[in-house]
C-alpha cells in the first residue's frame, strides 16, 4: 500500500531527477516534479518502484505520458508484475496545470491502474521521495507564482539561453524534446494548405522546409516522410528538402545516423511510414538513404540571421516557450526573413501585439502564422 506524508514548509527534499521521464529504483526515488503531477507505481512486494512525470505542454503531454507509461509497465512486467497487480498513486499538479491531472488519470485507468490521489491542486512546487519497500511517498513543497507554468511568461533572454541549449538544457529547462509526428496541426497544414499553395504558386521550384531546433531529429524525419508521401500522391514533380538544425552538435550527429528507439504506440501508429522509409527491429527504427537524402542536418544558433532563404514553411516546436518576448521577436524576425511568400511559420506561444507588429496573419485552425 502507498502512503503519503507531507513535510512542513521549512523541510525540503533533495531531488536527483527532474523534468520528463519514467524513473525506477529499488530503494528511494527522488524527483523534482515542479508544478506537474506525478504517477508512482509500486510492485506488490515493494521490490521495485517507479515515478512518471512530464513537463510537456498541451501539444505533447498526453503522448509523452503514454510513452512513459508503456516503458514503465513493460519493465514491471519483465520483473513478473503485470499492470493489474501494481499499486499506484497520483500526487502534485498545481491549479494552473490541473488539466494534466485529468490526462494522467485517464491514461492510468486505461492501463488497468486505479491510483490513489494525494495532494492535488494549490500553487506549489513539489519534490517527492518515494520508498518502494515502505510504500511511502514523502513530499516537500513551496509556494509558486501562479504564472510559473504559463509558457507565455518565460523569461530566458537570448544571452541566458544560448549556452544552456547548446548543452541540451537551458536554465534547468529540458529543451531537447522530440517525437515522431509531434505537432499534428502542422501536418494537417502541410496537406491542406502549404503544399497546395506551393504547387499553385511555384509548381516547378523546390519545396524547402526548415525544422528549426530539431533536437534529435525525429520530427525532421517525420516531416520528410510526410512531405514525400504528400507530393507523391499529388503527382508533383518539384524536388524538396528538409533542412534540420539545432544548436546542439551532439544531437545533430546522432540525428544523421537515423536510428531511433520508438515507443509501442509510435510503432503501431506510424508502422506504415517506418516500413516504407526504413526498417523496424523490435523497438528500434532505422531510416535508410532513400529518405535521408531529403534531409540536411546542421548545427545552427537561432539567434543568428539565417543565410538560407526560400523556405515555404518553418516549424520550431521547441525553444520559444522558454524565452522572453524580446528573444521571441528576434527569432521570429529571422524566420520571416527566411520564408518565401506565402510563407508558413509555427513557433508556439506568441503575444498578439508582436504578431500584428510583424505583419503576420494568424491561421487559428493550424496554430501557425502566415507571412504574405
Q: What is the pLDDT of residues 211-231, one digit of tens each?
A: 999 988 999 999 999 999 999
Which CATH number characterizes residue 219's domain?
3.40.50.150
Mean pLDDT to the nearest integer, 106-124: 90
Distance CA 159, CA 186 (A): 29
- Tell me if 271 is assigned to some domain: yes
Distance from C-alpha of 361 to C-alpha of 203, rounded to nearest angstrom: 24
Note whether residue 171 is domain-resident.
Answer: no
Q: Could you give the CA distance from residue 23 to residue 44 in angstroms, rounded to a whole number?
A: 18
Looking at the fold, whether 31 and 119 belong to one and the same domain comes out as yes
DSSP secondary structure code for residue 83 in this structure: G
Which carries the bigger pLDDT value, residue 328 or residue 293? 293
Residues 188, 337 within the same domain: yes
- Residues 188 and 335 both lie in one domain: yes
Contact 10, 27 (CB under 8 A): no
* Residue 165 belongs to a domain: no
Q: What is the mean pLDDT of the chain?
A: 88
Domain count across the chain: 2
Q: What is the mean pLDDT of residues 111-138?
A: 92
In a domain, 238, yes or no: yes
Whether residues 195 and 264 share a domain: the answer is yes
Segment 102-111, tens digit of pLDDT? 889 999 999 9
Instruction: Give the separation between CA 264 and CA 63, rounded to whole angstroms.
Output: 11
In this predicted structure, the answer to whether residue 238 has a pLDDT above a threshold of 50 is yes
- Domain containing 108 equals 3-149
Does residue 141 share a domain with residue 266?
Answer: no
Please check whether residues 130 and 204 belong to one and the same domain.
no
Q: Are residues 193 and 44 in the same domain?
A: no
pLDDT at 177: 54
Question: Does residue 169 sit within a domain?
Answer: no
Show which of 149, 166, 199 is a domain's final residue. Answer: 149
**What pLDDT shows up at residue 158?**
65
Q: Which residues contact 317 (CB under 8 A, 6 or more apart)?
A: 59, 177, 182, 183, 213, 219, 346, 348
Residue 238, judged by CB atoms within 10 A of its CB (0-12, 13-18, 19+), counts as middle
Residue 177 resides in a domain:
no
Domain co-membership, 349 together with 200: yes
pLDDT of residue 90: 95
Q: Are 198 and 81 in contact (CB under 8 A)?
A: no
Residues 302-338: tens digit of each pLDDT = 989 999 999 999 999 877 777 788 888 999 999 999 9
Q: Note the helical H segments in 132-217.
A: 158-166, 184-189, 195-201
Residues 250 and 343 in one domain: yes
| Residue 236's pLDDT band (cuts 50, 70, 90) | very high
Closest alpha carbon to 323 in 177, 185, 119, 165: 165
How many whole angstroms separate alpha carbon 178 and alpha carbon 246? 12
- Dihedral angle computed from the Cα positions of residues 187, 189, 191 and 193, in that order, rounded to the nearest 10 degrees: -160
Among the residue ranges 147-151, 160-164, 252-256, 300-304, the one predicted with the least confidence is: 147-151
Lowest pLDDT segment from 193-197, 227-231, 351-355: 351-355
- pLDDT, residue 18, reads 83
Global confidence as pTM: 0.63
Q: Are residues 97 and 204 in the same domain?
A: no
Q: Which of 96, 123, 149 is the last residue of a domain?
A: 149
Give residue for cell 534540420.
Answer: 244
Instruction: Please give the pLDDT value at position 265.
Output: 78
- Judge whether residue 363 has pLDDT over 70: yes
For residues 215 and 303, state if they share a domain. yes
Q: Which CATH number do you get for residue 78?
A: 3.30.1330.200
Task: In whole angstroms, give the CA distance from residue 79 to residue 135.
Answer: 18
In angstroms, the CA 60 to CA 41 distance is 22
The answer to whether residue 164 is domain-embedded is no
pLDDT score recorded for residue 58: 62
Residue 160 lies in a domain: no
- Write out the three cell numbers for 86: 501494481
Burial (CB count within 10 angstroms: exposed 0-12, middle 13-18, buried 19+), residue 217: buried
Do 339 and 347 form a contact (C-beta atoms < 8 A)? no
Q: Is 363 helix (H, G, I), strand (E, B) or coil?
A: strand
Of 96, 129, 149, the residue that ends a domain is 149
* % pLDDT > 90, the chain: 63
Residues 65 and 114 in one domain: yes
Amino acid at each position: 500500500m502507498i502512503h503519503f506524508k507531507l513535510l512542513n514548509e521549512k523541510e525540503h527534499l533533495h531531488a536527483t531527477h527532474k523534468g520528463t521521464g519514467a524513473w525506477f529504483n529499488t530503494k528511494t526515488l527522488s524527483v523534482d516534479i515542479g508544478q506537474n503531477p506525478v504517477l508512482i507505481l509500486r510492485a506488490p512486494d515493494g521490490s521495485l518502484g517507479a515515478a512518471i512525470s512530464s513537463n510537456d505542454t498541451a501539444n505533447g503531454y498526453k503522448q509523452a505520458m503514454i510513452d512513459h507509461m508503456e516503458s514503465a509497465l513493460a519493465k514491471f512486467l519483465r520483473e513478473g508484475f503485470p499492470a493489474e497487480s501494481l499499486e499506484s498513486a497520483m500526487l502534485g499538479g498545481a491549479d494552473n496545470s490541473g488539466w494534466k491531472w485529468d490526462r494522467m488519470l485517464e491514461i492510468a485507468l486505461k492501463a488497468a491502474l486505479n491510483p490513489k490521489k494525494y495532494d492535488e491542486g494549490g500553487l506549489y512546487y513539489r519534490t517527492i521521495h518515494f520508498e518502494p519497500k515502505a510504500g511511502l511517498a514523502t513530499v516537500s513543497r513551496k509556494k509558486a507564482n501562479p504564472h510559473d507554468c504559463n509558457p507565455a511568461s518565460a523569461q530566458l533572454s537570448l544571452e541566458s539561453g544560448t549556452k544552456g541549449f547548446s548543452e541540451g538544457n537551458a536554465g534547468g529547462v529540458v529543451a531537447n524534446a522530440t517525437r515522431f509526428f509531434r505537432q499534428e496541426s502542422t501536418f494537417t497544414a502541410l496537406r491542406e494548405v502549404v503544399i497546395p499553395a506551393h504547387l499553385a504558386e511555384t509548381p516547378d521550384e523546390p519545396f524547402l522546409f526548415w525544422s528549426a531546433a530539431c533536437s534529435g531529429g525525429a520530427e525532421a524525419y517525420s516531416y520528410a516522410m510526410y512531405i514525400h508521401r504528400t507530393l507523391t500522391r499529388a503527382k508533383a514533380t518539384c524536388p524538396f528538402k528538409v533542412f534540420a538544425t539545432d544548436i546542439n552538435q551532439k544531437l545533430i550527429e546522432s540525428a544523421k545516423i537515423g536510428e531511433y528507439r520508438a515507443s509501442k504506440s509510435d510503432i503501431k501508429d506510424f508502422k506504415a511510414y517506418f516500413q516504407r522509409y526504413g526498417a523496424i527491429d523490435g523497438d528500434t527504427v532505422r531510416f535508410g538513404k532513400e529518405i535521408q537524402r531529403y534531409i540536411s542536418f546542421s548545427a545552427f544558433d537561432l539567434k543568428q540571421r539565417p543565410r538560407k532563404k526560400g523556405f515555404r514553411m518553418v516549424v520550431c516546436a521547441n525553444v520559444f516557450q522558454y524565452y522572453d518576448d524580446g528573444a521571441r521577436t528576434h527569432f521570429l524576425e529571422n524566420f520571416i526573413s527566411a520564408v518565401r511568400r506565402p510563407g508558413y511559420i509555427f513557433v508556439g506561444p506568441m503575444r498578439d501585439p508582436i504578431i500584428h507588429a510583424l505583419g503576420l496573419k494568424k491561421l487559428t485552425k493550424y496554430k501557425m502564422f502566415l507571412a504574405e
